[in-house]
Amino acid sequence: MKNLIFVGTSKPGSMKFTQLFPTICTLLGLFLSFFILSTRNNFTRKKVVKKSLLLIVVIYTLLSITTFLEINRINTPLFVDFIFFIIFHFVGISFLYFSSTLINRNVNFKPYLLLLGITALCKVVFFSYAVRILGDSESYYELLENVDSPIIQYGIYDYMMSCLINIFFIYRAFVLFTTQPLLIELDTKKDIYLRWVRWMLLINIGIIIAMFVQVLLLLFKMVSFKLVFTTEPILYTLYFFVFIYSLMYFPVFAFTGDYNDLPENERKKYQRSSLNNSLALFEKINDLVLAEKLYLSSELKINNLASRLDTSVPHISQAINENKQVSFSDYINGFRIEEAKKKLLEEKPDTIFAISLDVGFNSKATFYHAFKKLTQQTPTQYRKTQLSSNS
C-alpha cells in the first residue's frame, strides 16, 4: 500500500532495514526498465509486448519512489503523493494487458477502462479535497499516525477496493494463460517454464491478498503502518526479480506458432538448416491439411504435421510464414473460419458455441477472436450482413 503505509520513524542520516528495500526496489525497477528496452529476447519481439511489460515495471518503480520519498520524509508537494496512490489502481489491468499481448489474445478493454476511469475520477475528487484540507506534507504525516481519522479511514477502504480490482484483473490474466490452446507439444523443460509463469501470476494475487489482509487488520489496530511498510517492498522486490527472469524463457512460440516468435538462437539454427525449398514443404502442408481436414480437430498441433511430413516443427512454421506471411495459428484458423461461415449461413444454424466446436476451436472466446481478426466482424454481424445482402 502506498501513501497510507509508508510512514517510518527513522532518524535523519540513518539507513534502517525499512528504508533499504524501497531503495532496492527503486533501483531494480530502473534496471529492469533499461533491461526491457535493450534486450532482444523472444518475449519482447513485438513492440506492444515490450511496452506493456515496461508499463508494469514503471508503475511499480514509481510506487517504490513514493515509498522512498515518504520513509525518508522528503518534502514533496502533497498532490504528488496522491498521484502515485492513484497509479496503484492500474496495476492489475496492466498485467492483463501484458498477458493478452504476450500470447496474442484479444481482450475488450473498453468496459474495464471505463470502470477504472470512473473510480480514478472519484479518487481525484477525494484527494483534491484532502489536499485542500491538509495543506502540506507535514500535516499529512501527522494525520497518518491517527488511524481513526476519517480521511485515513477512507484511504484505507479505497486501497482495499484497489486491491480487489487488481486481484480481479490479475486473475483474468491467469485465466488467459490457462485457457489459450497450445499449438505445440512442450517438452518437460518448456512446460515447467510455462507453469512457472502461471504460478507467478497466482503469487502476485497472493501478495495483494496479503496486503489486503494487513490493511484490514490495520483498521482494527492489530498491525502497525511500519509492519505493512516493511513487508510489501520485500515481497515485490523479490517478486519482480523472479518474474522478469522467468519471462526470459517463456515459450511464446507455443501460443502463436509464428516462426518469428522462436527464440533467436533457434531461428538462426534453422535458418542455416536444410530447408532450401520452403514452397515445396508448404504445398505438402496445404495438401495434407485440406485433404484430411485436419483443421477441424481442436487437438491439432504443429508437432502432428511435422511428424506426418517427417520434418521439424520450426520448418513447418517457417514454410507457412514464408509462403503465407501468417503464423501457424492464423493459417489453420483461416480454414476453420471458412467452415464456420458456411454453417452460419445455414437456414437453421446451430448456436455459435456449437459451431465453434464443430470447426475446431476449443472455446467460444477463441472463436470470436479469430473470426473478428480475419473478417473484422463478429459471427453474428457476418450472418446479418450476408443475409441482408442476399435478400
Q: Per residue in 143-153, pLDDT tens?
A: 767 777 888 78
pLDDT band at 286 (very low <50, low <70, confident <90, very high): very high
Q: In angstroms, how far is CA 139 from the centroid of its own chain? A: 38
Element (H, E) at 45: none
Task: Give CA separation, 321 vs 35, 239, 256, 282, 294, in Å.
Answer: 29, 36, 12, 9, 19
Q: What percent of the chain has pLDDT over 90?
A: 13
Residue 11 has pLDDT above 60, yes or no: no
pLDDT of residue 14: 43
Q: Does domain 17-256 have CATH number 1.20.1070?
A: yes
Element (H, E) at 139: helix 137-144
Gap between the terminal Cα atoms of the chain: 60
Contact predicate 67/25, CB 8 Å:
yes
pLDDT of residue 12: 43
Q: What percent of the chain has pLDDT over 70?
A: 76
pLDDT of residue 370: 86
pLDDT of residue 169: 94
pLDDT digit string, tens, across residues 219-232: 777 766 666 666 76
Give the three cell numbers for residue 134: 491538509
Top-confidence residue, 361 or 272? 361
pLDDT of residue 19: 62
Pick from 177-181, 207-211, 244-248: least confident: 244-248
Alpha carbon distance 250, 104 (integer Å): 14
* Residue ranges, CATH 1.10.10.60, the chain: 259-386
pLDDT band at 22 (very low <50, low <70, confident <90, very high): low
pLDDT band at 2 (very low <50, low <70, confident <90, very high): very low
Task: Give CA separation, 168 vs 93, 94, 96, 161, in Å.
Answer: 9, 12, 10, 11
pLDDT band at 9 (very low <50, low <70, confident <90, very high): very low
Average pLDDT, the chain: 78
Top-confidence residue, 264 or 309? 309
Top-confidence residue, 80 or 169? 169
pLDDT band at 215 (very low <50, low <70, confident <90, very high): confident
Residue 386 has pLDDT above 50, yes or no: yes
Alpha carbon distance 79, 206 (integer Å): 30
* Residue ranges, CATH 1.20.1070, the chain: 17-256
pLDDT of residue 73: 64
Top-confidence residue, 268 or 152? 152
Measuring CA to CA, which residue among 38, 176, 39 is closest to residue 101? Answer: 176
pLDDT of residue 7: 40
| Unique residue bearing C-alpha cell 523443460 | 189
Residue 306 has pLDDT above 80, yes or no: yes
Helices and strands per DSSP (H, E), number in the chain: 18, 0
pLDDT band at 248 (very low <50, low <70, confident <90, very high): low
Assign residue 293 a region: left if phi > 0, alpha if psi is -120 to 50, beta otherwise? left
pLDDT band at 5 (very low <50, low <70, confident <90, very high): very low
Q: How many C-beta neighbours within 10 Å does residue 40 have? A: 7
| Unique residue bearing C-alpha cell 477463441 | 366
Residue 378 has pLDDT above 60, yes or no: yes
Pick the CATH number of 259-386 from 3.30.1360.30, 3.30.1360.20, 1.10.10.60, 2.70.98.10: 1.10.10.60
pLDDT digit string, tens, across residues 129-138: 888 887 776 7
Find which of 33-42, 70-79, 212-221, 281-290 is predicted with most confidence, using mean pLDDT: 281-290
Alpha carbon distance 280, 315 (integer Å): 12
